[in-house]
């Protein structure tokens, strides 16, 4: 009897703990009033319709149609066809209880050649999309540039490698303010400038595919030691000019705000040695600091200045004054965490001679054979929820607690032909991911971090750049074999419950 009584008591305690855990499940009510929840996307990954209504080609059209560039040999000519299905997709957001939708405008829908005459059909499409969102009570958060540079500007002057792009980008952005700014109150000038500067011009794995790495099979042009820094410099100068135009000509009447979305891996020192702690800071300097330090302090991090030397461009005094303070908010795309270790051998420097070598840090999701967390599908995406809180506090302490939006957060499953749709909809790992990261975000807000919103990547499974359709980040499953039909995964119901008004 004593044993049975003990087992019964243990069962009761377990049940009570389960009930308590259910009650403590995070919800919208745990976040401040007015906190924004939404999903995020980009034009090239979602719209399709690449040759419709006057749209011109972008560097990603060219890159995705080049043999060997995309893992599954796919392209985004159709993507998930949001160009034709936006009303259906907006209803999915509404049904979930989302407050906002972050999407990007395709530069070549507005200016097919990057400059010149406005394509009215492109303007009409985005007007319809914005109006349809607002009609459902969903706030548009608009990214002006999400990697799809007009191919005409790449051909004309090598795109972001030329200072000529600064005025062309500013002209395009100003047209966006003129045409859509009466309804769009949150603008993001660039998505992940660090990613396209390094992936496009250092390691050559994304458009336009430039690099000078020894043994690289696909790069036929480029200089990995200089071009990423030139691109980043032109991006910062472009952003600063656009911010100045917006503040002087549009902000007072339109009442909007403007920021950039930065990709940020959190870096944990591989050991508690001084060398690895400093390596983790350098890794962050060469990622977030590369862009946010100039915007907050007027120049690049000291570690970059000392290690890159004359290859790192300099701001003139007037440029520095324009760049500094040109953000109203900081967008953070945070997915994962890596270990950072001091690069003692400099073998990387000999092989690469690029931004990775310059940082003097080796960053990997492993410490020896120990993984930093459970892996999602992507080889770079390991699940470390507590780093969301750590990262938010780092930004608060280093940059004076700016307004922050989590502009992307999410995880992917694989796209296996052997997984049934029924099984693919069971995404408990994704639910655990968002629950964990949101819990840590809420804790960061309690710490005093000034975070105002959170956007899931992504509403739908979609075309994931060089990974093609091999990676599924969506809350909704997209059936690529049956007319792109959308099916809700279990995470949709989780978000419905999470977002219910208390």
DSSP 228-250: HHHHHHHHHHHHHHHHHHHHHHT
- Alpha-carbon gap, residue 136 to 132, rounded angstroms: 7
pLDDT in tens, 286-305: 999 999 999 999 999 999 99
pLDDT at 502: 75
pLDDT grade for 239, boundaries at 50, 70 and 90: very high
Q: What percent of the chain has pLDDT over 90?
A: 91
Query: Average pLDDT over the chain, rounded to whole?
Result: 94
Q: Is 251 in contact with 225 (CB distance < 8 Å)?
A: no
Q: Is 236 exposed, middle or buried (0-12, 13-18, 19+ CB in 10 A)?
A: buried
pLDDT at 4 over 80: no
Q: What's domain 27-499's superfamily in CATH? A: Glycosidases (3.20.20.80)
pLDDT at 402 over 50: yes
- Alpha-carbon gap, residue 210 to 202, rounded angstroms: 7
**Which residues are known to be catalytic?**
192, 408
- Alpha-carbon gap, residue 427 to 495, rounded angstroms: 12
pLDDT in tens, 185-232: 999 999 999 999 999 999 999 999 999 986 667 787 999 999 999 999
pLDDT at 20 over 80: no
- Alpha-carbon gap, residue 128 to 246, rounded angstroms: 23
pLDDT at 372: 98
Segments making up each domain of the chain, as ranges: 27-499
pLDDT at 348: 54
Q: Bridge-partner residues for 487, per DSSP?
A: 477
pLDDT at 346: 62
pLDDT grade for 18, boundaries at 50, 70 and 90: very low
Tell me the mean pLDDT in the region 292-321.
98
Any idea what DSSP says for residue 289? I
Q: Is the pTM value of this prediction over 0.75?
A: yes
* Three-class SS state of 144: strand
In the block, tokens 């009447």 appear at 253
pLDDT in tens, 375-385: 999 999 999 99
């Amino acid at each position: 009897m004593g044993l049975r009584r003990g087992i019964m008591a243990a069962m009761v305690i377990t049940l009570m703990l389960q009930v308590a855990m259910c009650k403590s499940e995070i919800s919208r009510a745990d976040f401040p009033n007015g906190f924004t929840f939404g999903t995020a996307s980009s034009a090239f990954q979602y719209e399709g319709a690449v040759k419709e209504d006057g749209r011109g080609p972008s560097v990603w059209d060219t890159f995705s149609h080049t043999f060997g560039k995309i893992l599954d040999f796919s392209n985004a000519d159709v993507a998930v066809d949001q160009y034709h299905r936006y009303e259906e997709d907006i209803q999915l957001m509404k049904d979930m209880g989302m407050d906002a939708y972050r999407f990007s405008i395709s530069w070549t829908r507005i200016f097919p050649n990057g400059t010149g005459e406005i394509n009215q059909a492109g303007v009409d499409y985005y007007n319809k999309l914005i109006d349809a969102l607002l009609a459902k009570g969903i706030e548009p958060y608009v990214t002006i540039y999400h990697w799809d540079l007009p191919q005409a500007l790449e051909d004309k002057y090598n795109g972001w490698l030329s200072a000529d792009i600064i005025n062309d980008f500013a002209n395009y952005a100003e047209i966006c303010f003129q045409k859509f700014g009466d309804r769009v109150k949150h603008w993001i000038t660039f998505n992940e400038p660090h990613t396209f500067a390094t992936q496009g011009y250092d390691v050559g794995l994304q458009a336009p595919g430039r690099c000078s790495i020894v043994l690289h099979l696909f790069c036929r042009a480029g200089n990995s030691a200089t071009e990423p820094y030139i691109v980043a410099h032109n991006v910062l100068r472009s952003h600063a000019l656009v911010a100045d135009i917006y503040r002087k000509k549009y902000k007072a009447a339109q009442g909007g705000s403007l920021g950039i979305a930065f990709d940020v891996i959190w870096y944990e020192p591989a050991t508690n040695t001084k060398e690895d702690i400093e390596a983790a800071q350098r890794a962050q300097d060469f990622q977030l600091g590369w862009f946010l330090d100039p915007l907050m302090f007027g120049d690049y991090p000291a570690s970059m200045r000392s290690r890159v030397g004359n290859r790192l461009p300099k701001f003139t005094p007037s440029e520095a004054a324009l760049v500094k303070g040109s953000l109203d908010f900081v967008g953070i795309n945070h997915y994962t965490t890596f270990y950072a270790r001091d690069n003692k051998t400099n073998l990387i420097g000999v092989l690469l001679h690029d931004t990775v070598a310059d940082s003097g840090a080796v960053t990997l999701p492993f410490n020896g054979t120990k993984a930093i967390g459970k892996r999602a599908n992507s080889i770079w995406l390991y699940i470390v929820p507590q780093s969301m809180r750590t990262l938010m506090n780092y930004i608060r302490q280093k940059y004076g607690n700016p307004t922050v939006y989590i502009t992307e957060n999410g995880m992917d499953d694989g796209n296996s032909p052997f997984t049934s749709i029924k099984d693919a909809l069971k995404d408990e790992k994704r639910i655990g991911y968002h629950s964990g990261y949101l819990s840590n975000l809420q804790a960061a807000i309690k710490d005093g971090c000034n975070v105002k919103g959170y956007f899931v990547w992504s509403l739908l499974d979609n075309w994931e750049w060089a990974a093609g359709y091999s990676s599924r980040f969506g809350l909704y499953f997209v059936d690529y074999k049956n007319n792109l039909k959308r099916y809700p995964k279990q995470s949709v119901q989780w978000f419905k419950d999470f977002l219910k008004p208390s």
